[in-house]
Structure formats: structure tokens, C-alpha cells
Amino acid sequence: MKVSLVLPVLIIAFINNIGVYAQVPIKPPMVSVEGGTFSMGSNQSEDEKPIHSVTVSSFSIGKYEVTVEEYKAFCNATNHPMPNDWTPSGGWIDTHPIANIKFNDALAYCNWLNDVFNGNYRLPTEAEWEYAARGGDKKSGYIYSGSDNLDKVGFYGDNSSGRTHNVGSKKSNELGLYDMSGNVWEWCQDWYNDTYYSNSPGSNPRGPSSGYYHVLRGGAWGIAAANCRVTSRYESGPDYRNLNRGFRVVSPY
């Protein structure tokens, strides 16, 4: 009789533990970025002009794009809906970057991290993102984040086979950051304005005070190489989602 009770009890305990583990918060691995001054922008596109000097304070940034596993823990813990799981990879894969994410989904995730870890997580400013993508104070002047050869550092239209891939699969940049060129577009906290660079503050710019669109950076799995450059800018409404959009987080020192 005792034996017959053990198995059901173990099964129930196992099922309960699945629920517990699925909701355990996952702290994203971060890389410290020493602040500094750099030349932001380029002459490659009108909204990347003019090249201008920007100083950013020190901060920490996600080593990887937020993964499916990390985002799933947030959704399980808060009942926030997971985005549609029809992905180019054939369904959610824990080690891939989360995709099909709206700007407001990314904000909700950051707020949850702050609650559970008593932290100060947020989305990067556009200036922080570009500074980190360029390699910070270790920058080498590459076109893409970590190389002049995009195949070495990122998944984009020509090498992705039309899908996302495991984060960290390619070579990192000078700071040890992965996938800042390609895999998924990354939301920044700034509102987008195509002429903002003309009057951007020289220290810790945070974008226009209002707008209709937010900035995305880095390119994605289905995007041309030109849009994966460290200076390339893109914009989208905060409530618009797409299968090539994700994010990474920052935390000030």
C-alpha cells in the first residue's frame, strides 16, 4: 500500500516543481562598460548625420539579447502573455533571443527585474547602445559590432537561413558583447527623430522628450548587412511587434 502512494506523490511533487522552476527569476548576465567619449553617427544615412561627440557615463549592459528562457520566466511569474510562438525557428527555443516583442513588453520585463532583484534595469539609451556596440573605450572602429565582416559576428539576411539563432553563437565585440549586430533588432528607450543628432546634448543624451516611434538598433536575422552597422537607426511604434524584434537591458553603475 505504501508503494502505491509513493509514485503519485512523487509525480505531484515533480509537477509542482516544474511550476516553481519555470517562475524562478533569471538574472541576465551583464558586462560592465566604462564610460567615455566617442563620435556618434555616420555619413552613411541622413538620420545618422551629423557625426557628433557624445560622452556617456559608465553602465552595465546585457552580455546577450534577452533570451526566450529569461522572458518566459517573467511571463510565468506575472501572467504576462508570451508573444505568438510562430517564429522562423519553428517555435520558441530557450537559448534564442526572445522575438516578436513590443516596446511596452520590454519595459514590463525591465520593471519586473527591478522588483525581483531590487535593481535599476531599463532599456539602453541610443547613445549607450552605440557606444557599447562600437566596443566602448576598447573600440577598434569596426563597421559592425566586433568586426568588419558581419558573418563573423552576426546573423542577418544572408546567413541566418531565415530564423533566429542561439545567443552568443558568433564572435563577441571588444567588450565581450554578443549579437549587437544581427539576430534581432533591439529596442532602445529613446523616442526617434531623424534630425535629433543636430541638437543632441553632448553628455548622456536620452533622445527627444516625445514622439511617435522608438529607436531600434542592430539589425536582425532577415535584414540586409547595411542595416546591421553599429550606426544604423530604425524606428517603430511602441505597440508594434514583429518577429525580428527583441531587446537587451542595461543597468547604471
Tens of pLDDT, residues 7-60: 333 333 333 444 444 467 899 999 999 999 999 999 999 999 999 999 999 999
CA 38, CA 202: separation in Å to the nearest integer? Answer: 10
Non-local CB neighbours of 4 within 8 Å, separated by 6+ positions: none
Tens of pLDDT, residues 81-120: 999 876 666 678 999 999 999 999 999 999 999 999 999 9
Mean pLDDT of the chain: 90
Range of the domain at 62: 2-252
What is the CATH classification number for the domain harbouring 183?
3.90.1580.10
Tens of pLDDT, residues 194-209: 999 999 999 999 999 9
Number of domains in the chain: 1
| Residue 4 reports pLDDT greater than 60 | no
8 A C-beta contact, residue 106 and residue 62: no
Q: Which of the 8 DSSP states describes residue 122? A: B
CA 66, CA 250: separation in Å to the nearest integer? Answer: 11
Note the pLDDT of residue 89: 65
pTM of the predicted protein model: 0.90
CA 186, CA 208: separation in Å to the nearest integer? Answer: 18
